[in-house]
Structure 1
């Protein structure tokens, strides 16, 4: 599947402008979009939510939207644990009962484009960050609403790291694998665990392993070619420098994991607890995790991101970059939902972009970095601010947001086996290569 995307080159400037404009404050007047209930029958719409960490925030947003639109009820339908958004949406279509709106990963959109609305003419298209809809546009038609820009890497607890280094920790001091190892040793010397490795397949497969692809080059065309070469079976991962460097770092993570005695026993919920309470110094995760970390915070909100190093040369691509991109997208079904439901869904999306309560939900409640230039609210949480700082500095590695739908489950399982020492690195490389040569 070829899709030339230059998000990292073209939209960083736009994202920088979003961050800079935040200093001006303010939001667009709600009068610029009509979200009044108007007349007509009551309408119920549903939203498939694949960002389960913001489920309670979405449910509150649905209530706030209904307060503005009394004749529209929004029900949030969460994707279950262990199920991908693609699998859930496919199952709902198979049962003849798809949700009105579906929150999917970028790579899933093309598979549903014939079953969902063309959103090219929607008002928010003019305010979408440059190139934020490129990956969901086919034959000149955009089929998805860009919900969020997300980034991920090593989240650090400033208080724990300050204690470890005997002063104020400077993230600029960790730009190589050796420097990360040194930091781990300093944290361990305080009696705390250096980090926690969350063993979920989506974290290991869709996020960590994906760095081996995106880190091949700052030139997205070369990354795309690398994927094509994987599919063609012409890549030898066992000798690939980026893959090996990334796995060297993963080996460090395994050795310093608070759960190394039982590495597959951890849950997502355990990560923010031990990081927030200061039991570990670092957690590999994304800015979406702030609401959970905040509920356990003992560091006074002092957190930030470190990139995942892939070598001992600080100038190598990936050592100073944070992986980020537009991640989640919302689609509107056109097969089973009525025109009234479709219009209600469009009104909900407009409400998110243009109404103060919708913007507050997105930025302040859900801790999402918006993909719309008119939303000038600055991220209030430290992780959103940290990602924004990397964006401003131009230190972004574009996330692999169009991986095959089963990538995280199949190769996440391979990464889990490696985490638990069931397979070695050569066997892992062979499983990854086998997967790609069988991608249809």
Structure 2
């Protein structure tokens, strides 16, 4: 393989976790050095000087770091095609490992900040002083406006979203059809009681009703963070709620929304395919269980098609539905699919030359506008792509399911604002959620641990 795949050496990079920790933006973002300041201009100046800019005719080498694991082959394919269409630009691919954020910061500590990085919005927000503003770039005209909200800070766009991801209960339609004795319609699940009724019917067929993957990123980021989402209200209401926890005025255990989602979580745990070993945490095994009909549903996101695609048979049908948090059938948030633009392509302006940054812009433009790129991404990601000119077919039934919720107007922005949930919430609070799932603590202790976590944060911004 011609491309170089870097492995990142963490030895000697002391204090990196401090750089990546999640307090205020000031505490989590490494202070700009003189070189960073020199490379950084105001948003208006940068937008004006880069709009319609062209890369230098001189050969240039850039680096691309991704936190999207399991997609190395996809990105190697895209890089090869990009280089063939952009002679003079060489892209060095940096594959992510387990400690994705720490690896990213380790590159900066070694003065090797990647030219282009695919990161979570919160990571970009925390490190925006490093980034090149994208406001005014022509390529943004091809991006769905709604998808830019979590990539925009104080009116400035800092990243281009990768894809739209739906989060909820994946379901095996054949299993659910057998359970209900007909054609299963996910829109009939409007309350927790509706879901329990479905679970009972699935179990009556001899199949486990649902599956929880006992890993911190799934439970701490995707499940827990629903409790700060649309059920709380609009973005202002969500931020106000979180700030009230940070300030000590509110306790999680007193939150109706938190308790509602945890009541549903308890029910999922009761019917869990993995309940005898709840922290086994093997995504591949759980994907196989759903694909083979050993369980009827699985809490995950539509990205799970990556693990399932090679396991399903012709004619097998799968879909995605929201997790109801109450027994109020009139609560529309019970029927809205949490959808996130969970990762974005950003460009470093602190440790890359102007020529490298312009080449990075060309690479992101290729990712977001090239038809071959779209076909590869649609096939390998299995998710809806937020690009206006995209004609690629989504093979994934889970991605199609998310797209159907989007087109029906039945989605809720999972993030609200990228600064709402700190970037280590999946790690810290995910550990507490795993303890709770295993029975090592009760809900009161769980809520207290989450309160303590929030008490160490600075108040959030809109």
TM above 0.5, yes or no, is yes
Partners of 1:294 and 1:309 lie apart in 2 by: 27
In the TM superposition, 1:172-183 aligns within 5 A as 172-183=187-198
In the alignment, which of 202, 225, 232 is matched to residue 210 of structure 1? 225
Q: 3-state SS of the aligned residue for 1:304? A: strand
Alignment partner of 1:144 is 2:162: no
Q: 3-state SS of the aligned residue for 1:162? A: helix
Match of 2:344 in 1: 329
Unaligned runs of 5+ in 2: 1-22, 26-51
Q: 3-state SS of the aligned residue for 2:147? A: coil
Match of 1:12 in 2: none
Q: 3-state SS of the aligned residue for 2:283? A: coil
Go from structure 1 to structure 2 and tell me whether the alpha carbon gap of 1:75 and 1:186 turns closer, same or farther (over 3 Å shift).
Answer: farther
Deviations 1:72-127 (A, max 9, x none): 3333323222x2x4333222211222222111111111222121212223212222
Assess if the C-alpha contact under 8 Å between 1:193 and 1:279 holds in 2.
yes
Deviates more, 1:371-380 or 1:402-411: 371-380
Match of 1:160 in 2: 175
Assess if the C-alpha contact under 8 Å between 1:193 and 1:281 holds in 2.
yes
Match of 1:50 in 2: 67
Match of 2:276 in 1: 261
Match of 1:372 in 2: 387
Q: By how many angstroms is 1:158 displaced?
A: 0.8
Match of 1:436 in 2: 454
Partners of 1:34 and 1:62 lie apart in 2 by: 21
In the alignment, which of 268, 275, 291 is matched to residue 306 of structure 2? 291
Match of 1:419 in 2: 437
Partners of 1:428 and 1:305 lie apart in 2 by: 28
Match of 1:27 in 2: none
TM-score (norm 2): 0.82
In the alignment, which of 82, 90, 98 is matched to residue 65 of structure 1? 82
Match of 1:98 in 2: 113
Assess if the C-alpha contact under 8 Å between 1:278 and 1:298 holds in 2.
no
Q: How many residues align?
A: 407
Partners of 1:418 and 1:382 lie apart in 2 by: 32
Partners of 1:339 and 1:293 lie apart in 2 by: 42
In the alignment, which of 407, 415, 422 is matched to residue 425 of structure 2? 407
Report the aligned-residue RMSD: 2.4
Structure possessing the higher relative contact order (Cα contacts under 8 Å, 6 or more residues apart):
1
Alignment partner of 1:227 is 2:245: no
TM-score (norm 1): 0.86
Alignment partner of 1:127 is 2:145: no
Q: By how many angstroms is 1:269 displaced?
A: 2.1
Alignment partner of 1:80 is 2:100: no
Go from structure 1 to structure 2 and tell me whether the alpha carbon gap of 1:316 and 1:138 turns closer, same or farther (over 3 Å shift).
Answer: closer
